[in-house]
Amino acid sequence: MRHVNELRWDPLSREWIIVAGHRSKRPWREKDSTEKCPFCPGAPEIGSRSDWKVIVLPNKYPALIPNPPEPSIVSSKLMKPSKAQGICEVVIETPSHEGDFDILPLGHVVEYINTLVNEQIKLLKKPFIKYVAIFKNKGREIGVSLTHPHSQIYGLPFIPKKILDEYESFKTYYREHGICLLCDIVREEIATKKHIIYENKYFLILFPFYAKWPYEIHVYSKKHISSLTQLNIEERTHLADTIRVVVSIYNNLFEKEKEIPYIMVFHQKPPEANDNYFHLHLEFYQPYRDKDKKKYAAGIELGFGVFTHDLDPREEIVKLRGTCKRATSFLDEVLGKCY
């Protein structure tokens, strides 16, 4: 029996679900052995080349493919599947099997951002791609069995619900106040300095007032920019700087007890949308409240969309700022300052 691979629409929550039955065959790598890593130089996927810093590979178990089969089931008015057409890619961040952005030189992380930008431009030329979702999942605790540093790119045939929701917020705010919502938040944060952890010439690292996850971190551009493609090389370098600092903060948050798992997402405007109605930002989530206490998204969060933030934000910002000072002292190069 062929596996089902299609999009299904939830008319209650108004969002798409990507059904990808074949992904159940994905291997879970029990042991982390360098010989078998598919992303290390020498692996069949990579070839013998070692003259690269960042490389893009097709996802071996893609949820979306460029030429998908017709949906499997007969459609009805309310249950109408759609083709799972799209592109899923993996971005190998470095040839070396261990580590994270905080041990890569700044120029290497700029190369990573350049790769994302080039890939995004390429994907958006495909008529069936409506949004490019860029993210990184790190850590076994959140289901990532491959430890080799990598990110992912999904060229989606629709605009994700979360992005549409944010877009609506930006649009409404702009129409009511004549200014971009995040530009206004950035202005207030720079004035009050209440939630800033780190600042360089073009970006702020914040522990936002509205953090859902423990020690959730956001990166906001100071200038109004709505997508990665609008960043010039100097701005990309400063974005790379903030990514290195955030990752170093996370890797030092619990006194080097462990490299914590985290998720990094890039929120950019829907490609066709008005530039005024979206402000580029990165969001980082991690589950630990303490070095051995985790926050779970459970009934109230998953069933109702209501987050309980089980820590005192006033203590978290103090800890994040202290960690920033320590974390940046381990970096070979830093372009801004901790608060």
Of 13-21, 51-59, 94-102, 115-123, the segment contacting Zn ion by CB under 5 A is 94-102
Question: Which is nearer to Fe ion, 92 or 163 (by Cβ)?
Answer: 163
CA atoms of 280 and 189, how far apart (whole Å) = 16
Using CB under 5 A as the binding rule, whether residue 97 contacts Zn ion is answered as yes
> Which one of 19, 20, 37, 106 is in contact with Zn ion (CB under 5 A)?
37
Which residue number is nearest to Fe ion in terms of Cβ? 267
> Nearest distance from residue 78's CB to Zn ion, in Å?
39
Residue by residue, DSSP assigns 272-317 as: TS-GGG---EEEEE--EEETTEE----IIIIIH------S-HHHHH
CB of 277 to Fe ion, least distance (A): 13
Say if CB 202 and CB 244 are below 8 A apart: no
Q: Is 40 in the site for Zn ion (CB under 5 A)?
A: yes
Helix (H) or strand (E) holding 166: helix 161-177
Q: Which of Zn ion, Fe ion, none interacts with 204 (beta carbon under 5 to 8 A by kind)?
A: none
Is residue 182 near Zn ion by the rule CB under 5 A?
Answer: yes
- Compute CA distances 270 → 84, 164, 239, 280, whole Å: 19, 8, 20, 11
Window of 172-180, 265-273, 300-308, 328-336 that interacts with Fe ion by CB under 5 A: 265-273
**DSSP strands (E only) in the chain:** 5-10, 15-20, 55-58, 82-83, 87-92, 131-138, 150-156, 196-199, 203-206, 217-221, 262-267, 281-285, 288-290, 293-294, 337-338
Evaluate whether 172 touches 121 at the Cβ level (below 8 Å).
Answer: no
Count the site residues for Fe ion by CB under 5 A. Answer: 1
The span of 89-97, 101-109, 287-295, 331-339 binding Zn ion (CB under 5 A) equals: 89-97
Q: Residue 40 binds which entry of Fe ion, Zn ion, none, with Cβ cut-offs from 5 to 8 Å by kind?
A: Zn ion
Counting contacts by CB under 5 A, is residue 218 touching Fe ion? no
Cα torsion 159, 160, 166, 172 to 10°: value is: 40
- Dist CA 229 CA 235 (whole Å): 11
Query: Of the two residues 161 and 293, which places its CB atom closer to Fe ion in the complex?
Result: 161
Is residue 279 a contact residue for Fe ion (CB under 5 A)? no
Smallest separation, CB 205 to Zn ion (Å): 17
Shortest CB 270 distance to Fe ion, Å: 13
Spatial neighbors of 204 by CB under 8 A, at least 6 apart, are: 186, 189, 190, 196, 198, 219, 220, 222
How many CB atoms lie under 10 A from the CB of residue 77?
A: 5
**Out of 267, 269, 279, 295, the residue judged to bind Fe ion by CB under 5 A:** 267
* 171 touches Zn ion by CB under 5 A: no
How far apart CA 103 and CA 97 sit, in angstroms, is 12
Among residues 3, 97, 108, 150, the one annotated as catalytic is: 150
Nearer to Fe ion, 103 or 159 (CB): 159
Determine whether 97 is an active site residue: no
Instruction: Say which entry of Zn ion, Fe ion, none residue 180 contacts (CB below 5 to 8 A, set by partner kind).
Output: Zn ion
Look at residue 97 and give the partner it binds from Zn ion, Fe ion, none, a contact being a CB closer than 5 to 8 Å depending on partner kind: Zn ion
Residue 182, contacted partner among Fe ion, Zn ion, none, CB below 5-8 A by kind: Zn ion
Euclidean distance between CA atoms 339 and 333, whole angstroms:
17
Residue 267 binds which one of Fe ion, Zn ion, none, with CB within 5 to 8 A depending on kind? Fe ion
* Site residues for Zn ion per CB under 5 A: 37, 39-40, 97, 148, 180, 182-183, 224, 279
> Which residues are identified as catalytic?
150
- Contacts with Fe ion by CB under 5 A lie at 267
